[in-house]
Structure 1
Amino acid sequence: MRLIHPSYTFLFIPLLFLCLQGVDYTSASRIPGLPPVRDESPIRIPTSPSPPSSASTSALRSFFRHLLGHFSSILSPHPSAGDSLTRWVDNRPRLIESLKDYEDQVVIRFNLSSTQHAAALRTVVDRMLLDVWDFTDSHVDIRIPNRRVRFLARALPPSLLENYSILIPDLARVAAATYPSRRSPIHTHQLYDRGTTPTSHTLPKKYDVVDVYFQDYQPYSVMVAWMRLVDSMFRGRGLVQMISIGKSYEGRDIPALRVGIRPVDENVSGPRRETLLVTGGFHAREWIATSSVNYVAWSFIQSVDSDPIVRKTLERFDLVFIPVLNPDGYEYTWEVDRLWRKSRQRTKMSYCPGLDLDHSFSYEWDSAGRQGEPCSGSYGGDEPFQAIEAAQLADWAKNETEQGSKFVGYLDLHSYSQQVLVPYTFSCEVQPPNIENLREVAMNLAKRMRLSNGESYTVASACGGHVENSAGPLIEAKGGSAIDFFYHELEAHYSYQIKLRDTGSYGFLLPSDNIIPVGEEVFQAMKYLGDFLLGNNGHEWMQETTNSEQIAQEPVSEENDEMITELRRRRRREMEDE
């Protein structure tokens, strides 16, 4: 039985259409003051003039014509006159100004070949308060105005200046292109040549009602309206419940969807049970994390009657999806500054607002090297849980455990770098007791994501990117992370942070064409985790994928095969000892 009967499709589409039309979209392709698209720009946006409206057409006739035209552009496999970008930024002068500021900015990657290079770069980053996009043991990506490049070059050793590359030379254009557009969902699957998925790779052909929402990133108001719509459609089945885990600093709800199958005499708000938690939007500019949480929630809901693994998972566990923990910062990226990272809470320096939510939790908050500068992007506050939103999540989670829930798994979605990270974040010297099991599951999560669309995800420790024997970490504070807190304090012993696409070509400004394929990657990983926690160790998942013609078999390297075999032996020995 299908969750949405075919005859109800045209009822759902108008409701969702009205939800989406409640927002005043804006053109990102015609921003006053922005330069024309360069030939080497990664953004290739087809534009065409919109047909003029007739003044004599009645309001009712105009509405239906607009409605039918919108549906035609969605369902048609060919571009139409209505495929131009919509109008979002034209009436937002502060957003226009920030985009103009990006004209003179670039994103540079420095390749690190020694700890001396890393330490030198860390010192410069702290001194100049640069915006670090990504950091690993091998490279650091930095956003910097062109006018400051000369000062940066003077402060760095000459050998480090020989190992860099410019990732994004036209930051303003790339940032503007992430705002909503009215392109056909058919074309949202055709990734750009500079994108992350090879053009030769076959993408799943899913052109249904889901694409109306997931064809673009959506602002907070549309996201909440969509979640309410999903709740109203499926709450009657006892499958979905929309909840709020608390309020943000500025008073916005932090919405969530609780999904699960209960006995006939119970609904989803009934007695608590084992819970899998998925969060996104800790950092405001990481839009792909927010969209992926909602995509995975929708995928579980609409697959419950057709996918045995999904059904068994939902019969055993409650799945709670929190798409944006930082609604204030997320809204700020839509209204003022696309690349804002932190919350909007006031700090001891009035001109440097905002806290990094992922360094605000209590476990090992005061570990060595925490960032105490309020103007830093990784500033987590002067005490644990100073960040309102982090405290709200922790209080909600503790209240859930008091009511009988047990958190058995946690996925915290971020971007970018395509990594599956295991605890701990606060130290590379201390490892969780079940580190072998954590790594084995992490490798399988990465494998399932790779099988989905061909994108490679690596497995690493969340403590990576630190400078050993220095005064502190390379970029971010070590302690106070969400995955450490849920692992240690709430005993969610399969806690992971997943950094989604890409590996640097777009960074935080991933084109909306990636929303569905990235969502599919996380959905497949989540299915595996559910199957593993059911006690099948992924065997049922593997049987399903083996029989599927859509997922190709992937050869396993001898090194990885031996590693997984050894980890399984250790687990069996642990179980025998118990």
Structure 2
Amino acid sequence: MQLPARHLIALSALLAFVPTPPTVWAAGIQPAWYHREAHPERGDGYVLPFLKRLRDSAIELILGPPPSSRAKPVWADAASVHARYRDDVVIRFNVTNPQEETALSVAAVQLILDVWAFTPDYVDVRISKRYLPGLLKLLPDSLQHTVLISDVAAAAWATFPSADAPLSDFDSMSTPAKRNMLASGADNIFFSDYQPLLVITNWMRLLQALFPSFTNITSIGKSYEGRDIWAFRVGEPNPDEKGPRKTILVTGGLHGREWISTSTVDYLLWSLVTSFGTDQMITKLLRRFDIVFVPVMNPDGYEYTWQEDRLWRKSRQRTKMQYCQGLDLDHAFGYEWESTQHISDPCSESYGGEEPFQSIEASDIADWAKNQTENGVKFIGFLDLHSYSQQILFPYAYSCSVDPPNRENLEELAVGLAKAIRLSSGESYTVASACEGALARSYSASDSYPRVESGGGSAIDWFYHELKARYSYQVKLRDTGSYGFLLPKEQIVPTGEEMLSALKYFGDYLLGNNGIESFPPEKAYEPLSETEWRDLRKRRR
């Protein structure tokens, strides 16, 4: 009898987690049907030979062949990364008035600058040291600047897996050492590095094979280059439930270079799947709601960051200008889409296309979401993870002159999310309207002042307005500028943990408990002080 492939994967993966039977260890017996493998540090262990081969084959299927058998790495080499970014630095400009932002905006268009972050207080820009003097000549003397990252090449290369990373030599380790590593927690392996697209896809398939009763993986669309956009649904349907199934959508990787957003979605997915049935709040949540995780919304861009350009932002779709490929997916959705000077140039990092939904990926995602709503799904929450600047932003992104109808509820929940993160890790996340998060001051859609970046065509606005996702947020993860998009891999798990606390609060709020169950008992009823409110909330200017 031939088992389905997914059953073989599930069986072998489970065997990898199961230690040698304690009775065999205790008795010191070596049955004839066991194979003894020596381990100088930890003693002897026993593994069925055919099970060992089955397990190792599954691991190789999921994690790839051992380093010795690989023709070449699945990512760019150090020489190409250093050659591409050898003269680059990241500069922070402390914007204090509209005139300074106007000058910076004009310079960004003229020089086609790579703007990394734009908040009410600062704008971060990546630029070659050779062009920095020319940029400074275009800006007023009052616009102060500091160097955030002096060696972009070194910081970029440090985010790739190293030669001695756990997954790199996993297959060559002894069996007891593998058991010890796996027993210490899968997050310590998979989340010890950023992972390439193929590994993420196979890892999700493994999880679905291990937990088939309440998970499902499906393709919700295709990228421009033909890659699947995978979604992982978690939830236990209730046969007695009536009406549309309430659903929370959690996405990452809308911009290719924001690796921490993809890893964090993966961490949330893994945490909920492995906590179902053991964590009371998560179990209750998954019985009332489905949660759909999409770790890589922009698979072409993400893959390109591994193979060619670590700091690539857009998709890889062709444009009207041959040498300027890609669309910014967060300016490609149809609600309040706009074509301004800043996003009409295909070479701009903010280029959203010549018309709404020109982006293949944005169009497919929107079609999938609309199809879901027509077939018994109601999107009630949307969390779109990005990096960086540690902000929780709510609609609308396109204009500060229009408030969403439930602004007070949006702001209340956002402040609760920020509090949950602070109690979890001590990190401070600010709360603001998405329009404020992108500007030095409040603008209306009719303002003639040039803006550093337009907010039209945003995913959070489209899901909020078109699909009525009542609680829609863009969350910009760690950090606040020391590393920017090049956050060290050591911060993958801490970022995932703090966002898990936020997601639990989010779910508990939707369950009607106002987040009480997600806080430690001694913190549950602790009110926010005036100072905490000021720190958490960026006030409109």
**For residues 171-570 of structure 1, what are the structure 2 equivalents within 5 Å?**
171-181=152-162, 182-183=164-165, 207-235=184-212, 238-263=213-238, 273-366=245-338, 371-464=343-436, 465-466=438-439, 468=443, 471=448, 474-542=451-519, 545-546=520-521, 556-560=528-532
Aligned-partner SS, 1:431: coil
TM-superposed CA distance for 1:555, in Å, is 7.7
Distance 1:429 1:207 in 2: 51
How far apart, CA to CA, are the structure 1 residues paired with 2:485 and 2:513?
Answer: 36
Please tell me whether the aligned partners of residues 257 and 485 of structure 2 are also in contact (alpha carbons under 8 angstroms): yes
8 Å CA contact 2:113, 2:127 repeated in 1: yes
Whether the 8 Å contact between 2:245 and 2:289 is mirrored in structure 1 is yes
Offset at residue 511 of structure 1 (A): 0.6
Quick one: distance in 2 between partners of 1:13 and 1:477? 51
**1:132 partner SS:** strand
For residues 320-350 of structure 1, the C-alpha deviation after alignment (integer angstroms, 9 at most, x for no partner) is: 0000010000000000000000000000001
Shift of 1:529: 0.8
Give 1:298 deviation, angstroms: 0.6
Pair 290,23 (structure 1): closer, same or farther in 2 beyond 3 Å = farther
1:446 CA displacement: 0.8
Report the Cα distance in structure 2 between the residues aligned to 1:520 and 1:14, rounded to whole angstroms: 30
Please tell me the residue identity of whatever aligns with 2:277: D
2:117 paired residue among 129, 134, 145: 134
Matched, 1:168 2:149: yes
Which of 75, 78, 87 lines up with 1:104 in the alignment?
Answer: 87
Cα deviations across residues 218-268 of structure 1 (Å, max 9, x unaligned)? 000111010111111111xx11101110110000000110000124899xx
Shift of 1:19: 4.3
Long gaps (5+) in structure 2: 1-12, 20-51, 168-182, 537-541
**CA separation in 2, counterparts of 1:431 and 1:289?**
27
SS of match in other structure, 2:211: helix
Equivalent residues of 1:421, 1:497 under 8 A apart: yes
2:5 paired residue number: none
Deviation of the 1:125 alpha carbon: 0.7
Could you tell me how far apart the structure 2 residues matched to 1:120 and 1:229 are? Answer: 51
Question: How many pairs are equivalent?
Answer: 469
Aligned twin of 1:143: 126
- Partner SS for 2:383: strand
Letter in 2 for 1:242: I
Q: Is the 8 A contact 2:430 2:535 kept in 1?
A: no
Q: CA deviation at 1:23?
A: 6.2
Task: Summarize the Cα distance change of 1:435–1:361 in structure 2 as closer, same or farther, 3 Å threshold.
Answer: same
Q: Structure 1: how far apart are the matches of 2:510 and 2:210?
A: 29
Q: Could you tell me which runs of 5 or more consecutive residues in structure 1 were left unpaired when the two chains were aligned.
A: 26-52, 54-62, 64-85, 186-205, 565-578
2:393–2:431 Cα contact (<8 Å) kept:
yes
- Deviation, 1:307, is 1.0
What is the DSSP-based 3-state SS (H/G/I as helix, E as strand, rest coil) of the residue aligned with 2:134? helix
Q: Per-residue CA shift, 1:386-405, capped at 9, x if unaligned?
A: 00000111000000000010
| Cα distance change, pair 179–13 in 1 and its aligned pair in 2 (3 A) | farther
Say if 2:116 and 2:484, in contact at 8 Å, map to a contact too: yes
Residues of 2 paired with 1:120 and 1:501: CA distance?
28
Superposition TM-score, scaled by structure 1 size: 0.76
Q: TM-score, normalised by structure 2?
A: 0.81
Alignment partners' CA distance in 2, 1:562 and 1:456: 12
Equivalent of 1:155, from 108, 131, 138? 138
**2:117 corresponds to 1:123:** no
Equivalent position SS for 1:508? coil
Per-residue CA deviation, residues 193-222 of structure 1 (Å, 9 max, x unaligned), is xxxxxxxxxxxxx94122211110000011
CA contact (8 A) 1:357 1:389 kept: yes
Instruction: State the distance in 2 between where 1:171 and 1:125 align.
Output: 19
Secondary structure class of the residue paired with 1:232: helix
The CA deviation at 1:466 is 2.9
Structure 2 residue matching 1:536: 3-state secondary structure:
coil
Q: Deviation of residue 137 (structure 1)?
A: 1.5
Q: Offset at 1:473?
A: 5.3
